[in-house]
Amino acid sequence: MAQQAVPSASPATPAARPAPLPLRVPVREILPWAVLAAVLGVVLIYFVGAEQGATSLFGGTWVHEFTHDGRHLLGFPCH
Ligand SMILES: [Zn+2]
């Protein structure tokens, strides 16, 4: 007797699949991490794009030299 790998649907048996549950996004759990990621992103963009260029919080040119390739890669004005 041959068995089918995929059972065929017959109109006599109703579908036994449960109704899909709506996806719940816990905003209160995600919000602090989203704020942290946004702050870190803004700090990173500042150091790559503006530090020791338009503005300067640190003396010397080491931040500029460290982020120089990223500055050119992202299209920030440099030199
Ligand atoms: Zn440059």
**Distance in Å, CA 65 to ligand 1 centroid:** 8
For the whole prediction, is pTM greater than 0.85?
Answer: no
**Distance in Å, CA 78 to ligand 1 centroid:** 4
Label residue 68 exposed, middle or buried (CB < 10 Å: 0-12, 13-18, 19+): middle
Residue 11, pLDDT score: 58
Instruction: Report the pLDDT averaged over residues 14-29.
Output: 87
With 70 as the cut, is the pLDDT of residue 8 above it? no
Q: Greater confidence, 13 or 56?
A: 56
Residue 30, pLDDT score: 94
**Distance in Å, CA 12 to ligand 1 centroid:** 73
**Distance in Å, CA 54 to ligand 1 centroid:** 13
Distances 67 to 26, 37, 43, 47 between C-alpha atoms, Å: 36, 20, 13, 7
Percent of the chain with pLDDT over 90: 32
**Distance in Å, CA 71 to ligand 1 centroid:** 7
Convert the pLDDT of each residue in 25-35 to its tens digit: 899 999 999 99
